[in-house]
Amino acid sequence: MKPIDFSKFSQLQSAFGNFGGTLYLDGKPFPYSYLELSKPTGKYVDRTILKGVNLLSTKGFIHYAGNACSPGLQFPEIYNSGHAVIEDANNCGVQIINVLGSPSLSNAVTISAEPFMNLEIRESWKTFEDYISNMSSKYRVRTNKVLKTTENYSVQPLSIQEANEWIPQCAQMLGHTLKDKTLAISPNISAMLHTFVRTLKDDFKVWGYYKNAMLCGFVSAIDSDHGTYAMHLGLTDEAAEDSLYQRMMYDVIRHGIDNQSQFVCLGRTATEIKSTMGAIPVENSYLFFTKGKILMTLIKGYKKFFHRTKSYQIRSPFKE
């Protein structure tokens, strides 16, 4: 799993509506944004708290390195010195940085994150069928069952030139799919998707899934010089029951193989499902920096008493 080109990454970050500016970590520049949190259902976190966090962020109190809308595309490098030098011109209250691994720093609190699931493409996989044939019979049967179950869904690329036609419906499906899975949902999903389309152009791929001529789901991915990154996925409840989620992941893998990518990053969530496809977890964590003693105590308290790491079992679908 390698990062996308930094100039392309920076161009994307600066195009987001919540772009803030540049911070420096150990002397190296990295774009930051004002953290935006959303939870339409209010199921896990009280909406009043979310509004308070968003207010503090828009006032410049919380800076997030990169953007929560584009995870896994770039990671700031942290040297094993035990202490990171962070420079922020606006001298905000809290800086949050997503990094690979789980570094221990004297001036930050490290909180583990869900792993990114990454599939390394083998040289022998010239086609998607080669990939399936490398699986043991148990997982080959499962894969073929998903493909059989979803064969009544047709897939076609969604044109970036016609983005105004499909983005509203896709944004609605994405919000519905994510509402119980993440806090980091942009308040304006349509504008976020437009940003990806407008900035990345042909490197941003979007596929729509249709049943009875109705759009029932979509998945997007970013192509880089090294690999493919699955980005957004939205679908109806009926399509989810038909295992369309798994079909979409397989189709992104198919695209990665056809595109001769070195890897396909399938993103976070559904760790066990993605491991049955051959993806392995990439450890990453969040570093919380603050100069405020009270804030540091609160963050440490959250880590100790409230943060829970999800448990999962990694499967190995390939023949030994």
Phi, psi of 139 (to 5 degrees): -85, -25
Please report which helix (H) or strand (E) contains residue 119, including its range.
strand 116-120
**pTM listed for this prediction:** 0.92
Q: Are 15 and 201 in contact (CB under 8 A)?
A: no
pLDDT tens track, the chain, 320 positions: 899 999 999 999 999 999 999 998 888 899 999 887 765 444 444 555 556 666 766 667 889 999 999 999 999 987 755 667 777 656 678 999 999 999 999 999 999 999 999 999 999 999 999 999 999 999 999 999 999 999 999 999 999 889 999 999 999 999 998 877 665 667 789 999 999 999 999 999 999 999 999 999 999 999 999 999 999 999 999 999 999 999 999 999 999 999 999 999 999 989 999 999 999 999 999 999 998 899 899 999 989 998 888 888 999 999 87
- Of 192, 195, 190, 197, the residue nearest 158 (C-alpha): 197
- Taking the CA of residue 277 as centre, how many other CA atoms within 13 Å lie in the half-sphere pointing to its CB? 29
Contacts of residue 274, defined as CB under 8 A and 6 or more positions apart, other chains included, come to 117, 119, 249, 266
Domains of the chain by start residue, with CATH:
6-114+283-305 (no CATH), 117-281 (3.40.630.30)
Beta-sheet strand order (sheet of 94-100): 86-88, 19-25, 28-34, 62-65, 94-100, 284-289, 109-112
Residues 88, 93, 95: CA angle, nearest 5 degrees: 60
